[in-house]
Amino acid sequence: MTFKRVSGILLHPSSLPGHYGIGDIGPQAYRFVDFLADSACNLWQVLPLGPTGYGDSPYQCFSAFAGNPYLISPDELIGDGLLTPEDLHDKPAFDETRVDFGNFIPWKLSLLGKAYDRFVANSEAGLREDLSTFRASNAAWLDDFALFMSIKEAYGGGCWDGWPAALRKRDPQALAEARKTYAESIARYVFYQFLFYRQWRNLHTYANQRGVKIVGDIPIFVAYDSADVWSHPDLFYLDEAGKPTVVAGVPPDFFSATGQMWGNPLYKWDVHKASGYAWWLERMRATLNLVDYVRLDHFRGFAGYWEIPAGNDTAEFGRWVPGPGADLFDALMADLESHLGTKELPIIAEDLGVITDDVVALRERYNLPGMKILQFGFTSPSDPFLPHNYVNNCVAYTGTHDNNTARGWYEAAPEQEREFALKYLGVDGSHFAWDLIRAVWSSTAVFSVAPMQDFLNLGGEARMNFPSRLGGNWEWRMKDSDLNDTLLAKIRELNYLYSR
């Protein structure tokens, strides 16, 4: 794909500053867009925007289509007349540097409930009409999602495999009764999605007007406890009880002797193919309604993926299975050309890890840029993650949400790698985060991106995610004072110097 040489910042909306326990898509998001535009950055890369559950990971969501209601802005709701300033008077004393999900979620849901009650009691005709239009145009996924969340709520929030058999197996009579029983709850969940989509699309439009494109994210697999698996069991390898028979992961490698057990259910690609990949086409269209580019997570899994029999404790015992390959991407290209008029896939291929020739061939067939992580490069001059080895058609990062921060990496790296990094960069390590940023910005990579934490020169305490750690992830937030004129000028100069 033909990309323009530009730069950007990786920051999930939950990490934005603010007073409501979590970053949201209100005034501070618009301020961040202004910061990007004024510093001559043209990209804002976010993580998946879906509704998070256990573990708070945006890569394990209750839906591949829905938005995260926790990101809805209370300030915007006040502006719409759906909340009043008095509704916020019971706000807990939140830590403004970290998201405390256990403390924040009950308060936010209570606040959204107040907005829904006010909408039902007294809302403008125009808002009701907008909601009706939204519900009709998104019915393909929204109806099942709202029903799924309502049943989940009624049964204490547990996974759908613990529901009564008739609901687990989607017995038509049981579903009809549930729609009547939970009608109010269903309407509420639909309303939350309406609010999210409305606020996000307004923000997205503003970003584009300021010359900022948004890079979204599609995880290859979906969570087992999701509306997607519950409502489309035929698309996944499940047994008669609805349990996965095989699950996703990666085999043992240099980094893990037992591999990584992800546990996501695997797709029945033959069933997807028979439908013309209808679910995937709908998923891609829905995502591109919210963003401009898509980072396609675990791209190698579309060429071939590691299949692990369910019930194994580790990922050691599995097998490689061919993915859908070009068949899926041809369908995506044809669909996007039909709906968006584009003949190119606006996709960044997350091609990290052990990449085989078939993965490279698939990526190159569609001219998709791959990813380069500079933190991975300090092993030898021949390392493909070093800038002098980059091809033009790639997206270069100092690190991603799964890495330590640049400074954190430097402080914890093996001595040999640290010494090589200093020699390679020609620096003394006193400004290591900025040294990495400069190396990425000066490279031939068409896109250069760094996490906000690296621009702020933060250490390992600001890391967003530890892939092997349960709990304590996705919590970091920036401070209000971090978006200042000094930093803006420094980034702008970097973009000027390297024609980004």
Decide which of 103 and 340 is more confident.
Answer: 103
Q: Which helix (H) or strand (E) holds 408?
A: helix 406-412
Identified catalytic residue from 402, 411, 417, 482: 402
Which tokens in the block code for residue 367?
Answer: 């001219």
What is the pLDDT averaged over residues 361-390?
Answer: 97
Q: Given a cut of 60, is residue 465 above it in pLDDT?
A: yes
Letter for the amino acid at 248? A
Contacts of 53 (CB under 8 A, 6+ apart): 60, 61, 62, 223, 225
Residue 311 contacts residue 363 (beta carbons within 8 Å): no
What is the pLDDT averaged over residues 19-47?
Answer: 98
Name which of 395, 278, 273 is nearest 322 in CA terms: 273
pLDDT interval class at 1 (50, 70, 90): very low
- Residue 308's region, left for phi above 0, alpha for psi from -120 to 50, else beta, is beta
Q: Give the three-state DSSP class for 312.
A: coil
**Rounded CA gap, 255 and 253, in Å?**
5
Contacts of 27 (CB under 8 A, 6+ apart): 73, 75
pLDDT interval class at 469 (50, 70, 90): confident
Decide which of 432 and 255 is more confident.
Answer: 432
What is the pLDDT averaged over residues 430-451?
Answer: 98
Q: What is the dihedral of CA 64, 65, 70, 71, to 10 degrees?
A: 110
Which tokens in the block code for residue 371?
Answer: 């990813």
Contacts of 269 (CB under 8 A, 6+ apart): 323, 324
**Superfamily covering domain 6-66+208-497:** Glycosidases (3.20.20.80)
**Rounded CA gap, 60 and 52, in Å?**
6
* Reduced DSSP (H G I as helix, E B as strand, rest coil) percent helix, strand, coil of the chain, to 5: 45, 15, 40
Identified catalytic residue from 24, 56, 75, 350: 350
What is the pLDDT averaged over residues 240-264?
Answer: 89
- Share of residues in the chain with pLDDT > 70 (%): 99
Assess whether 415 carries a catalytic annotation: no
Q: Minimum mean pLDDT among 177-191, 259-273, 295-309, 457-471: which range?
A: 457-471
Distances in whole angstroms, Cα of residue 344 to Cα of each of 291, 295, 366, 368, 446: 15, 14, 8, 9, 16
Which tokens in the block code for residue 67?
Answer: 């938005």
Identified catalytic residue from 225, 228, 297, 351: 297
pLDDT in tens, 198-242: 999 999 999 999 999 999 999 999 999 999 999 999 999 999 999
Distances in whole angstroms, Cα of residue 20 to Cα of each of 26, 29, 249, 453, 461: 11, 13, 36, 21, 22
Q: Are strands 246-250 and 260-265 parallel, antiparallel or unpaired?
A: antiparallel
Please report which residue ranges of 96-240 form alpha helices under DSSP H: 101-121, 125-137, 139-154, 165-168, 172-181, 183-209, 227-231
What is the pLDDT averaged over residues 169-192?
Answer: 98
Q: Given a cut of 70, is residue 414 above it in pLDDT?
A: yes
Q: Quick one: 176 exposed, middle or buried, by C-beta within 10 A (0-12, 13-18, 19+)?
A: exposed
Assess whether 402 carries a catalytic annotation: yes
Letter for the amino acid at 376? F
Assess whether 153 carries a catalytic annotation: no
Dump strand ranges (E) for 222-340.
246-250, 260-265, 293-296, 304-309, 319-322
Q: Which helix (H) or strand (E) holds 451?
A: strand 447-451
Going from N- to C-terminal start, the domains of the chain cover 6-66+208-497
Residue 292 — φ and ψ, nearest 5°? -105, -35
Which tokens in the block code for residue 88?
Answer: 């916020």
What 8-state DSSP symbol labels residue 15? G
Residue-level length of the chain: 500
Q: Minimum mean pLDDT among 35-39, 121-125, 192-196, 398-402: which range?
A: 121-125
Q: Which helix (H) or strand (E) holds 371?
A: strand 370-373
**Rounded CA gap, 78 and 318, in Å?**
52
Q: Minimum mean pLDDT among 259-263, 297-301, 402-406: which range?
A: 259-263
HEC states along 209-248? HCCCEEEEEECCCCCCCCHHHHHCHHHECECCCCCECEEE
Residue 3 is predicted with a pLDDT of: 75
Q: What is the dihedral of CA 190, 192, 198, 202, to 10 degrees?
A: -160
- Share of residues in the chain with pLDDT > 90 (%): 92
* Stated pTM of the model: 0.96
What does R_g of the chain's alpha carbons equal in angstroms? 23
Mean pLDDT score of the chain: 95
**Rounded CA gap, 246 and 311, in Å?**
8
Residues 16-19: contacts with CB within 8 Å, 24+ apart?
Answer: 16/477, 16/478, 17/96, 17/477, 17/478, 17/479, 17/480, 17/482, 17/483, 18/96, 18/480, 19/91, 19/94, 19/96
